[in-house]
Amino acid sequence: VDCMWGSWSACTVECGNGTRTRDISQAATNSGKDCTGPSTEICIITSCTATHLSALGATAKQNGDSAGRPVTLAIDGSPTTVTGQSIGSGTCASTSQSTNPWLQIDLKAAYLVSRVRAIIFGSSGQNVNVHVGNSVTNNGLDNHICGIPPYDSSTNTDAIWRDVSCSPPVWGKYIVSQRIVTYRFLEVCEVTFNYELEIAILE
């Protein structure tokens, strides 16, 4: 009787690179043929959407820092939301006062970005373009504009999550937010993003 393999196990991950295994279900007997081939192999799950990722671990820059509000506060993994009050020093990043202020995040790798979420304070959330792409030309502002976060004037004293969907998703290493305004600030408390994988399962 020849050796027989059992079925492959499920992949060890739900999204991305993992492994799967199989066991011998019947050993060779009476001079039968032994099993050949691996008992473990790589598996890659395709077309999955990851949960949102923090930009923690990325690097960032903006066109000038306001006192006590460096750009690193937008990627520190500590989202801060407030309603009906001002934000204190050391809580949210803020550009210097300028025309069309911007904040750029370098994710350190290219992702297929499907959504960008940012906590933007008050009127800073008005007329903001969110760019995603791989170019650093013009500080990344020449990259594709995924969209403009929704804005409601009743939230002028709130630091709240504002979402932009990239439809279809856009490959990008850089996420750049720019407020189209004359001589104002852009105040961003935290940035996260969603990404998708478009890769094939290895058999």
The yes-or-no verdict on residue 103 having pLDDT over 50 is: yes
Nearest to 87 by CA among 40, 123, 134, 121: 121
The predicted pLDDT at position 135 comes to 96
What is the DSSP annotation of 43-54? EEE-S-BPPPEE
How high is the mean pLDDT of the chain? 85
The yes-or-no verdict on residue 124 having pLDDT over 90 is: no
The yes-or-no verdict on residue 41 having pLDDT over 50 is: yes
The predicted pLDDT at position 198 comes to 47
Distance CA 36, CA 76 (A): 50
Provide Rg for the chain, Cα atoms: 24
Query: Tokens 């799950």 map to which residue?
Result: 45
Query: Tokens 């709130």 map to which residue?
Result: 158
The predicted pLDDT at position 45 comes to 65
Distance CA 200, CA 189 (A): 37
The predicted pLDDT at position 182 comes to 95
Distance CA 77, CA 1 (A): 59
What percentage of residues in the chain have a pLDDT greater than 70?
A: 86
Tens digits of per-residue pLDDT, 149-181? 988 888 777 888 899 999 888 889 999 999 999
